[in-house]
Amino acid sequence: MSTDKKKFLSVDDLSDGELHRLFFRARSNGFGNHNKRILVTAFFEASTRTRISFEIAAYRLNMSVSTFDSSSSSMSKGEDLVETIGNLLAMGPDALVVRQSISLDPAVLGHSSSVLINGGDGVNEHPTQALTDCYTLLDRFKTDDLSGKKILIIGDIANSRVAHSNIKLMTRLGAQVVLLSPEPFRLETDLGQSGEIFSFDNADFDTDVIMCLRIQRERIKGAVALSDEEFFHGYGLTLNRLGRFKDSCHILHPGPINFGVEMEQKIAFDPRALIRDQVRNGVLVRMALLDYLLS
């Protein structure tokens, strides 16, 4: 090796002996001989809450975090999404959180010992958001399940991965989930919901929880049948509409919120709103999940 050990600019800088010692060291080190666990976050769609809460959760667990930035990655040279994720897994992080617009088939990613976590896949699922939302309700109600609780989910149910994961998990925990959405956003599949209504007038005003969801415009091909104004007029949660429900009815929204579309701004700051609790609890739940999956 060159006398200046801080530079490696050419393969010529290693002697034959140094070359073989380096390969020996690579084989001996492997991936498993280091104490520090590593989380990689790879978000191919925008995120505020999910990515940062995973990163804070990892730091709080004393993990190291590497954030993948698709705009400066080799995707700009034509590498596709599945190949990119497969390569991130091949580098052996302890866990990889991925958000992307399609449902991933782990079989096409190749063998990996890394834990793969879904940070939201297209219209399919957002499982850690559902864990967060259900935890928030259990924490608020001080119960271990949601038996006897009535939950009304309002909005673009068809295109909302948050809705899909939440309907499954909330009903599994014992809640009755009713959906309220305009015709283009109705759920076609049975995920366990107990009913569907088409107007606030048909709601059960004894409902314990209302979850508002935004229109997922980025996923809708072609023109959206409803303007923001039409949505708010028919389905937006206003203080007036909320006043028809019992006083203890709580409000959830997974974010991001479009005030004046899904809800009136004042509702987010009403004591019945658990929206900031959802965000705070997102860190706790993701810490617990990482700890569990990596233990």
Residues found near ligand CP in the complex (CB under 6 A):
47-50, 120, 126, 129, 254-256
Contact indicator for 187, 159 with CB cutoff of 8 Å? no
Tokens 């969801």, residue located: 213
Which of residues 45 and 83 has its CB atom nearest to ligand CP in the complex?
45
Contact indicator for 120, 142 with CB cutoff of 8 Å? no
Query: Considering the complex, what minimum distance in angstroms separates the CB of residue 160 from ligand CP?
Result: 10
Residue 121 is classified by DSSP as E
Which of residues 50 and 114 has its CB atom nearest to ligand CP in the complex?
50
* Greatest Cα pair distance in the chain: 82
Residue 118 is classified by DSSP as E
Burial 234-243 (b: 16+ CB within 10 A, else e): ebbbeeebbe
Which of residues 159 and 176 has its CB atom nearest to ligand CP in the complex?
159
- CB neighbourhood size of 221 (10 A): 5
Contact indicator for 24, 50 with CB cutoff of 8 Å? no
Query: Considering the complex, what minimum distance in angstroms separates the CB of residue 151 from ligand CP?
Result: 17
Query: Considering the complex, what minimum distance in angstroms separates the CB of residue 209 from ligand CP?
Result: 17
Query: Considering the complex, what minimum distance in angstroms separates the CB of residue 229 from ligand CP?
Result: 24
180 closest CA partner among 148, 205, 149, 146: 205
Which of residues 48 and 194 has its CB atom nearest to ligand CP in the complex?
48
252 closest CA partner among 280, 231, 272, 282: 272
Query: Considering the complex, what minimum distance in angstroms separates the CB of residue 29 from ligand CP?
Result: 35
Which of residues 48 and 248 has its CB atom nearest to ligand CP in the complex?
48
Query: Considering the complex, what minimum distance in angstroms separates the CB of residue 124 from ligand CP?
Result: 13
Question: Which residues, at least 6 apart from 93, have a Cβ–Cβ distance to it below 8 Å?
Answer: 38, 39, 40, 66, 114
Which of residues 45 and 145 has its CB atom nearest to ligand CP in the complex?
45
